[in-house]
């Protein structure tokens, strides 16, 4: 059974919730309809912010994930029968802190995943930081990981999501700075070294500088926005390309996940005060991955590596 996903990356300027809902309804009646629709970072939390203080910004946009905005987004996903990532929202946590949080709704309108941005753009982004990596499964298709904007600059994030079994990493972005030029090759590199799909969707002007793109598991850009235009990038993601690249090699000659063998000793990683254990190196395997395309002897969510039998 093939594992294909019709993916729409909506490079749009910031919108109100009402405008967002109206335009998404129109989009789903057009050739831009898709199974998974993705919007930029803080897409629904950016209008009028230029004149707001931080307290005013939080008072205007921060609410619990199960608040009125979350209910409306779930209802919209259910109405349209679509997987929906409306970018990130300002989440008011139970602890009272505010987070920049990516949310995912399934076609039944359920909130199936939420990811609090770990690498906020300090010192300019004041929100609290998250402390968990997040993946979710699309039944009969594959596993998807979440990252937000500056997270892409830290290879540990995408590597960890790939290790958790993500075959597509969705990186939602809102940047208007010159750094977007560097993010293009960064996203390509994250796809190449992890042998996964990477989708990075930035906002359109005047909110952000655009240049959204989708990269395949061998680093080829499949579709991209030229600049900051308001556009929808539509493509078909073939999840079977991931296990195929790992089995047959990127370009037919590189197998980064298959380097270590059972005979190798652990490799110290002083930077992290830890080490790589060859027994737990390879990524988890999605239940949807065809057996014939799985790498040899994969490790699926092995227990944390230890030394000398200690736990």
Query: Which residues lie closer than 8 Å to 115 by C-beta, 6 or more apart?
Result: 101, 102, 130, 132, 133, 134, 146, 147, 148
Residue 234 to residue 196: CA distance in whole angstroms: 18
Domains of the chain: 4-244 (3.60.110.10)
- Mean pLDDT within 48-71: 97
Q: Which two tokens stand for residue 185?
A: 């090759």
Strand order in the sheet with 168-172: 135-138, 142-148, 168-172, 197-201, 213-215, 221-224
Q: Are 278 and 264 in contact (CB under 8 A)?
A: yes
- The more confident residue out of 300 and 154 is 154
- Mean pLDDT within 81-92: 98
pLDDT of residue 295: 64
Bridge partners (DSSP) of residue 171 are 147, 200
Look at residue 62 and tell me whether its pLDDT is greater than 70: yes
Residue 84 to residue 24: CA distance in whole angstroms: 10
- Mean pLDDT within 21-27: 98
Q: What radius of gyration do the chain's Cα atoms show?
A: 19
Q: Identify which of 35, 285, 259 has the alpha carbon closest to the alpha carbon of residue 138.
A: 35
pLDDT of residue 303: 34
pLDDT of residue 300: 37
At 292, is the pLDDT very low, low, confident or very high (cuts 50, 70, 90)? Answer: confident
pLDDT digits (tens, 9 = 90+) for 213-253: 999 999 999 999 999 999 999 999 999 999 999 999 999 99
Mean of per-residue pLDDT scores for the chain: 93
pLDDT digits (tens, 9 = 90+) for 185-207: 999 999 999 999 999 999 999 99
At 296, is the pLDDT very low, low, confident or very high (cuts 50, 70, 90)? Answer: low
Percent of the chain whose predicted confidence (pLDDT) is above 70: 94
Query: Which residues lie closer than 8 Å to 84 by C-beta, 6 or more apart?
Result: 24, 36, 37, 73, 76, 77, 104, 105
Residue 243 to residue 241: CA distance in whole angstroms: 6
């Amino acid at each position: 059974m093939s594992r294909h996903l019709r993916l729409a990356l909506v490079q749009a300027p910031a919108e109100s919730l009402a405008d967002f809902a109206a335009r998404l309804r129109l989009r789903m009646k057009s050739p831009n309809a898709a199974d998974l629709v993705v919007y930029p970072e803080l897409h629904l939390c950016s209008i009028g912010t230029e004149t707001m203080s931080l307290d005013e910004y939080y008072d205007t946009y921060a609410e619990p994930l199960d608040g009125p905005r979350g209910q409306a987004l779930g209802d919209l996903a259910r109405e349209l029968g679509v997987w929906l990532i409306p970018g990130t929202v300002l989440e008011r946590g139970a602890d009272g802190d505010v987070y920049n949080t990516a949310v995912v709704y399934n076609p039944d309108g359920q909130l199936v995943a939420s990811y609090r941005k770990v690498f906020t753009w300090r010192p300019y982004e004041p929100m609290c930081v998250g402390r968990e990596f997040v993946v979710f499964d699309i039944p009969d298709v594959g596993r998807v990981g979440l990252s937000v904007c500056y997270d892409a600059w830290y290879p540990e994030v995408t590597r960890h999501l790939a290790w958790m079994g993500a075959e597509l990493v969705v990186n939602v972005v809102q940047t208007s700075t010159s750094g977007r030029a560097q993010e293009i090759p960064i996203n390509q590199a994250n796809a190449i070294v992890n042998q996964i799909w990477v989708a990075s969707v930035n906002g359109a002007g005047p909110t952000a500088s655009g240049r959204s793109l989708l990269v395949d598991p061998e680093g080829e850009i499949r579709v991209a926005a030229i600049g900051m235009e308001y556009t929808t990038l539509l493509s078909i993601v073939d999840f079977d390309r991931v296990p195929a690249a790992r089995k047959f090699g990127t370009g037919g000659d590189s197998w980064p996940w298959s380097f270590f063998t059972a005979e190798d000793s652990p490799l110290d990683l002083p930077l992290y005060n830890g080490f790589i254990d060859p027994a737990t190196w390879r990524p988890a395997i999605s239940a949807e991955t065809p057996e014939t395309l799985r790498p040899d002897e994969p490790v699926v969510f092995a227990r944390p590596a230890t030394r000398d039998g200690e736990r």
